[in-house]
Structure formats: structure tokens, C-alpha cells
Amino acid sequence: MGKVVVVTSGKGGVGKTTSTAALGAAVAKTGKKVALVDFDVGLRNLDLIMGAERRVVFDLVNVIQGSAKLSQALIRDKRVETLFLLPASQTRDKDALTEEGVAEVIGKLRSVFDYVFCDSPAGIERGAQLAMRFADEAVIVTNPEVSSVRDSDRIIGLLDARTLRAEQGEQIAKHVLVTRYDAARAARGEMLSIDDVLEILSTPLLGIIPESQDVLRASNLGSPVTLSEPLNAAAKAYIDAAKRLEGEQLPVIVPFERKGFLDRLLGRRAA
Amino acid sequence: MNLLDIFKRRTSAPVARERLQVLLAYERRNRSQPDLVSILREEIMAVIAKHVQIDQDYLQVSMDRGETMSTLEIDIQIPNKSPMPLAMAG
């Protein structure tokens, strides 16, 4: 039986979809069978980030409503052959998803794939709750910034109350993934530190993804950064996070800003 | 800004951290309460806020459920000093 991982955050724009793509691709590259499911019905984007936007024929809603088979809707990645995408519907409204339908699709995926990543929509409404409903584990994507941390706390509360596992009295494994971390700003005390975030959320850390132009470029090109530029710092951070998700014990290194000789001599703060 | 200000300037991250800790402690407490109590809390707070400015911490609402009867306990503290009645402040 495969593991179901929800990638969620509450707040929008923190990097859920980018992280789903990057983590999923990193896991799939190790040979595991991975399915990425876009739950953002009406505002699908995972297809675009994965570079599969022109290959979408059927979607999650079609499968739930019985107008397409699951095997017809799954899109195989062109770069990694164990990586698949189940896109969200672009046209239907959110109510097109039913709990029974989602349960059936997730159940089928779980029996075939090693990992099922559910990319949650923003917010705490029905769509987000369905994305997390059948998860065994959760990756909470958080920016080191007050509104994102507050929303993450809210989502953690929902994970502990509204998931099937929680209702059955079992634990859902939760991990915080800090994205868009700016080492220079953290060093100047202008951004919540990793310790602050972890202490406030009291949830273990999966990884720290540095703010990077390369992540944006990867999105522009329609390729997860872990596939297009695996040697880049952000990609490496995602690959390490994926290893931790698979249970490997890897220490997390907080990125730091290297100061130049002149800066140190003058005690100058980086601009 | 003179040179000394650079060193004196208080960084904003500790402020963010403090604000979050206070806020989340409050939100978590509310979350675990039954819905009725949080609705009552909000409405009572709204009524008080029409006349006096008080912090959310000064209002405690709790409910004890018994077998035949439940008790609702409302504890409102109104500080004497700073928060002036709104009419006077305006």
C-alpha cells in the first residue's frame, strides 16, 4: 500500500504546487512510483508546472463522475517514467468533488503507487479538506512570514481534527517545509528564523528551500526544479527533503549568507 | 540616519515572533472550545467593544456542562486606566 501525502498550507502563493512537483519528481527519480493529484478544481496549475498542460484530456472530476477511467486520466511524465499526474478540472466548480468519489480514487491510486501526493488548494474550505481527508502524512508549506505561519497553524489544527486518520484516533505525520527562505534577511533579523517557525508551530522540519530564481525559471520552463537543475541549491534542498520524507535521517542545514571580506572588515550589513 | 542608528535599530523578526505567539495561543484556545462558546464570546466582545475598548484577553467565557444543567461563566475585566470610553475619546 502506498503512502498518501497532502501538500498544504492554508495561505496561497507560498509554493504548494511548486513543492508538490519538486518533491514528487525527486521521489520518482529514485524509482518509486509516484502520482501527483491536483485538487485545485477550477484553478488547476500543477499541469503547467509539470509541463503537461497540453496533454490534459481527462481530469479528476471526470474520473469521479465516471466519464473517464483513472488510467485514461493519468498523464505519464516524459522525463521520469514512474511519475504520473492526475490533473484537476479547469471548468467545473469545487462541488464537483465528493468525499466518496475522492475516497475511491485515492484508494485505487494507493494500491498502485508507492506515493500519492495531493496538491491542496489554498484556503480551509471543502477543496482543501478533501485534499487532506485521506492523507497519511502532511507537508505544510510555510514561508517565514507572519500570515503564512498563522495559516499553517490553522491547517495543522484541521489536520488533527478533520482527516480520516485523526477521526480514527490515529496520528497523521506532519512536516513543515519552509520555502522562500532568504538567508540574508534572516541574518539581519528581518525575517522569522527557522527556530521561531518551528517553535511556534511545534512541528518537525522537512527542509528549508532557499529563495531562488532557479525555482521560478523551472516553473517558466514547465519542469520541476529537481529535474531541470538538480545541482542547484533549491533543488538539492528539495531532494534532501524528499529523502527525509522517505524516512532517511539527514541533518537540515540552515542556509547562511556568506559575507565578503570587505563586509566583515567594515562590519557592514548586507543590503 | 546616523551611523549609530544602524546598530540601535530593533530588528522586526522578534516582534513578529512575539505577536504570533500571543495570537496563536488565543486562536488555539478558541479552536478547542465548543462552537456555542466561541459564538457567545465573539458577540459579547462585540457588545463590549461598542462602549469600551478592551483586549480580547480581558474576556473569559467558559461553559461547564452538567447532567441536568450547564453553567456559563463570563468574566470581563475592564481596566481602570487607559481604555477610555469611546464617547469620551472621540
Query: Which comes out higher in pLDDT, residue B5 or A135?
Result: A135
Residues in chain B closer than 8 A to A183 (CB atoms): none
Query: Which comes out higher in pLDDT, residue B64 or A45?
Result: A45
User: What pLDDT is recorded for position A270?
Assistant: 44
Q: Which of the residues in chain A have pLDDT under 50?
A: 268-271
Half-sphere exposure of B77 (CA within 13 A, CB side): 8
In a domain, B88, yes or no: no
- Other C-beta atoms closer than 10 Å to the C-beta of B69 total 7
User: What pLDDT is recorded for position A255?
Assistant: 84
State in words which class domain A3-267 has. Answer: alpha beta
Binned at pLDDT 50, 70 and 90, residue B67 comes out as: confident
- Check: CB of residue A234 under 8 Å from CB of residue A213: no
Task: Note the pLDDT tens digit of each residue in A248-264.
Answer: 999 998 887 665 555 55
- Check: CB of residue A36 under 8 Å from CB of residue A45: no
In a domain, B85, yes or no: no
Q: Is A188 on the interface with B (CB under 8 A)?
A: yes
User: What pLDDT is recorded for position A175?
Assistant: 97
As for how many domains chain B has, the answer is 1
Cell numbers standing for residue B40 = 457567545
What are the structural domain ranges in chain A? 3-267
Binned at pLDDT 50, 70 and 90, residue B82 comes out as: low
CB spacing of A150 vs B24 below 8 angstroms:
yes
Check pLDDT > 90 for residue B50: no
* B1: closest CA of chain A, how far (Å): 15
Q: Is A268 on the interface with B (CB under 8 A)?
A: no
The three-class DSSP label of residue A70 is helix
Rounded to an integer, what distance in angstroms lies between the CA atom of residue A150 and that of residue A181?
17
In a domain, B51, yes or no: yes
User: What pLDDT is recorded for position B54?
Assistant: 82
Q: Is the pTM of this model over 0.90?
A: no
- Check: CB of residue A38 under 8 Å from CB of residue A116: no
Q: What is the mean pLDDT of residues B5-16?
A: 73
CB spacing of A190 vs B24 below 8 angstroms:
no
| CA A70 distance to own-chain centroid | 22
Task: Note the pLDDT tens digit of each residue in A36-94.
Answer: 999 999 899 999 999 999 999 999 999 999 999 999 999 999 999 999 999 999 877 76
CB proximity under 8 Å: B 9-38 to A: 11-14, 16-17, 19-21, 23-24, 27-28, 31
In a domain, B61, yes or no: yes
* A192: closest CA of chain B, how far (Å): 5
In a domain, B71, yes or no: yes
Cell numbers standing for residue A257 = 549568507
Nearest by CB to B23, which of A150, A196, A269? A150
Which string of b and e fits A144-173 if b means at least 16 CB within 10 Å? bebebbbbbbbbbbbbeeebbbbeeeeebb
Residue B35 is part of a domain; what is its CATH number? 3.30.1070.10
Query: Which comes out higher in pLDDT, residue A14 or B2?
Result: A14
User: What pLDDT is recorded for position A271?
Assistant: 41
Rounded to an integer, what distance in angstroms lies between the CA atom of residue A181 and that of residue A142?
10
User: What pLDDT is recorded for position B62?
Assistant: 82
> What is the span of the domain harbouring residue B49?
18-78
Rounded to an integer, what distance in angstroms lies between the CA atom of residue A130 and that of residue A61?
13
CB spacing of A190 vs B28 below 8 angstroms:
no
Check pLDDT > 70 for residue B5: no
Q: Is B51 on the interface with A (CB under 8 A)?
A: no
